[in-house]
Amino acid sequence: MSNKVLADMLEEIADLISVDETPNSKFEVRAYKKAALTIGTLQEPVEQIYASGGKGALMALPGIGKGLAEKIEAYIKTGNIPRLDELKKRYPIRMGELTGVQGLGPKTAVALYKALGIKGIDDLKKALQEHKIRGLPGFGEKSEELLETGLQMRESSKGRLLLGDAMPEAEQIIKALSKSGLADKVLIAGSARRMRETVGDLDILATSKEPEKVMDLFSRLPSVERVIVSGPTKTTAWLKIGMSCDLRVIEPDSFGAALQYFTGSKDHNVQVRQIAVKKGYKLNEYGLFDRKGRLLSSKEEPEIYGILGMQWMPPEMREARGEVKLAQEHKIPKLVELGDIRGDMHTHTKETDGANTIEEMVDAAIGAHLQYIAVTNHTKSLPVAHGMNDSQFLDFFKKVDKLNDKLGGKLMIFKGAEVDILKDGSLDLEPATLKKMDCVVGSVHSFFKMPEAEMTARIEKALDSGMVTILGHPTGREVNGREPYQLRLDKVAECAERNDVALEIDAFPSRLDLNDTNIMLASRYKVAFSIDSDSHSTSHFGFLRYGVGTARRGWLTKGRVFNTADAKGMAKLLDSRR
């Protein structure tokens, strides 16, 4: 079973409940959305959690009470949730499809269904092509244009899932194959190994003395919806998560060559093969061969690159963006690693829109081997996140001080906030309150459609205030969901350098902002980068690996990353920025 499938069902229930406003609907919507966030971001399959402790184990998850645990139990046992079935009888809409279009919420979806019988994307496309929406009450030409833009964006990302959804699925498949004893070596390849923000399909390579048994086991895994093509050494399956997966069983002597071949982007592989040809060699998925067809290397990736006169490259770099030339010059940098990250500078608790108490977040951070966290709850101008005002922050900081005393250095909590950068570039809290903080994450959460010059000036004004430590998710984009706002990132990076402000790499899978290309652009300036989870739950510290993967795609070294400092070092860094 897939956590994502269940999370999508819970999200759909929330959307359908939100259509009819009742005294309890707001509470129910919030509960289902919080449960969807919890389940969708778990790093362990929910059915394993249930198997280990039944409903009690489910109720131990953030935001899961008895009623929700029973609905999750029903899904695990039957694949259905009766509440969803009931709601869909009233509104037979493919809500997940429609609300995946930017600008189209649940109430709009129901209004379009009632007026035009629109149930899904195909119906929406037809209505837009025939200009039927602009004539509806409350709509118009502008509404149609916005829906067309949202639809185009959705279509451009069609079939590509978030790395944060695809990678856990791949890891569960790898775990099942490895534990079976039938496969000797099992590794992820393709765009997931390169840590791309979205993944079109999964490529898994294995070695085995019994390949047909491995293929049979793979075909019968719970995550497989149907087998598309089955063979003795390759099987393609459609996964319940909504993507295909190729499993190839490779001869051990060819494994390194296959891993190289199935990892690099198309352009990267073309460049490497061209180098092989110039040297009189032939490189393919079976190995590196000389002019006479004799095998030179095939077992290990580094050896193949070495014979070609190249330094081995981390998979994240293999995108044909200059890494091949760098490898020929043996100048591949030592990239930042997950083990280098010592703390997390962007986290949320129950005081605003987090699912857990600060004590629970601290325990989870210790479990994730972090030395410190900054608790950065939202500020008052973000009511949807129950943002806090100045006095609430000051009261909360007393709690932080007491907890720090209690921890005795086991983990250090820095006092902070994710402060809204308002439309005019001012910050959402009083300077006196901000000065009491160790860390201020300044973020844009509103007026996304400002012209480029105005948005750039807005952010520059906030950074020039001298109050901001980190610029949060700097371009405001949501992967597969919302385009970045318009801004001159080079001017923002220059301003950040001038004001000693770190730029965030928000590791939340639906953000990954800054992305790899923007990291490369911004790294031309003398700015630090902060890789943060943007945790809203205890399970979200695991997202740091996606932020590190994105940083590696942007060729960042440990020295460029703010939160590779240890706890004492971070305390000094923060103090020097005040």
CATH 3.40.1390.10 for domain 260-328: no
Neighbouring C-beta atoms of residue 498, cutoff 10 Å? 14
Which has more pLDDT, 378 or 243? 378
How do strand 287-289 and strand 282-284 relate by DSSP bridges? Answer: antiparallel
In this structure, which amino acid lies at residue 224? V
Contact 13, 68 (CB under 8 A): no
Can you list the positions of beta strands (E) in 291-420?
295-297, 343-347, 372-378, 412-420
Packing angle of the helix pair 3-19, 66-78 (nearest 10 deg): 130
Q: Residue range 161-172: average pLDDT?
A: 93
Task: Kindly state the tokens that stand for 477.
Answer: 């984009």
Q: Which residues pair with 199 in a beta bridge?
A: 161
pLDDT tens-place string over residues 271-304: 999 999 999 999 999 999 998 888 888 889 999 9
Kindly state the percentage of the chain with pLDDT values over 70.
99
| H helix or E strand, kind and range, residue 541 | none
Environment class of residue 312 by beta-carbon count within 10 Å: exposed (0-12), middle (13-18) or buried (19+)?
Answer: middle
| pLDDT tens track for 185-233 | 999 999 999 999 999 999 999 999 999 999 999 999 989 999 999 989 9
* β-pair partners for 535: 347
Contacts for 156 with CB less than 8 Å, ≥ 6 apart: none
Question: How far apart, in whole angstroms, are the C-alpha atoms of residue 111 and residue 134?
Answer: 13
Average pLDDT for residues 443-466, to the nearest whole number? 97
* Top CATH class, 161-249: alpha beta
Task: Evaluate if residue 319 carries a pLDDT over 90.
Answer: yes
pLDDT at 156: 64
Backbone angles phi, psi at 329, to 5 degrees: -90, 0
In angstroms, what CA-CA distances link 500 with 496, 503, 527, 534? 6, 10, 7, 21
pLDDT confidence of 23, banded at 50, 70, 90? confident
Q: How far is CA 508 from the centre of its chain?
A: 4
Helix (H) or strand (E) holding 413: strand 412-420
Kindly indicate the confidence band of residue 159, based on its pLDDT and cuts at 50, 70 and 90: low
Percent of the chain with pLDDT over 90: 68
3-class SS shares of the chain: helix, strand, coil, % to 5 = 50, 15, 35
Residue 95 has a pLDDT of 86
What pLDDT sits at residue 383?
85
CA distances from 443 to 30, 413, 515 (A): 23, 21, 16
Which tens digits make up the pLDDT trace of 501-523? 999 999 999 999 999 999 999 99
CA 156 to chain centre: 18
Does 567 score more than 70 pLDDT?
A: yes
Strand (E) or helix (H) holding 344:
strand 343-347
Joined together, the tokens standing for residue 536 give 């809203």
pLDDT digits (tens, 9 = 90+) for 321-330: 999 999 999 9
Per-residue model confidence (pLDDT) at position 157? 57
Mutual angle of helices 163-179 and 3-19, in 10-degree steps: 140
Neighbouring C-beta atoms of residue 368, cutoff 10 Å: 18
Indicate if the pLDDT at residue 63 is higher than 90.
Answer: no
The tens digit of pLDDT for each residue in 183-195 reads 999 999 999 999 9
DSSP assignment string, 109-163: HHHHHHHH---SHHHHHHHHHTT-STTSTT--HHHHHHHHHHHHHHHHTTT-EEH
Angstrom distance (rounded) from CA 572 to CA 566: 10
Integer Cα distance of 189 and 192 in angstroms: 6
* Longest CA span, the chain: 79
| Pairing of the two strands 502-506 and 470-471 | parallel
- Phi/psi-derived region of residue 322, left when phi > 0, alpha when psi is between -120 and 50, beta in every other case: left
Strand-pair category, 185-188 with 287-289: unpaired
161-249 and 260-328, same CATH topology: no
* pLDDT at 1 (0 to 100): 56
Say which residue, 106 or 565, is predicted with more confidence: 565
Mean pLDDT of 366-380: 97
Task: Assess contact for 188 and 202: CB atoms under 8 A.
Answer: yes
Q: Is 382 exposed, middle or buried (0-12, 13-18, 19+ CB in 10 A)?
A: buried
Pick the range with the lowest mean pLDDT from 107-116, 141-150, 423-432, 491-500: 141-150
Which CATH number fits the domain 338-576, given the four candidates 1.20.1250.20, 3.20.20.140, 2.40.50.140, 3.30.43.10? 3.20.20.140
pLDDT over threshold 80, residue 31:
yes
88-101: per-residue pLDDT in tens?
888 888 888 888 78
Label residue 181 by pLDDT band (50, 70, 90).
very high
CATH topology of domain 3-156: DNA polymerase; domain 1 (1.10.150)
pLDDT at 204: 98
Instruction: Delimit the domains of the chain by residue range.
Output: 3-156, 161-249, 260-328, 338-576
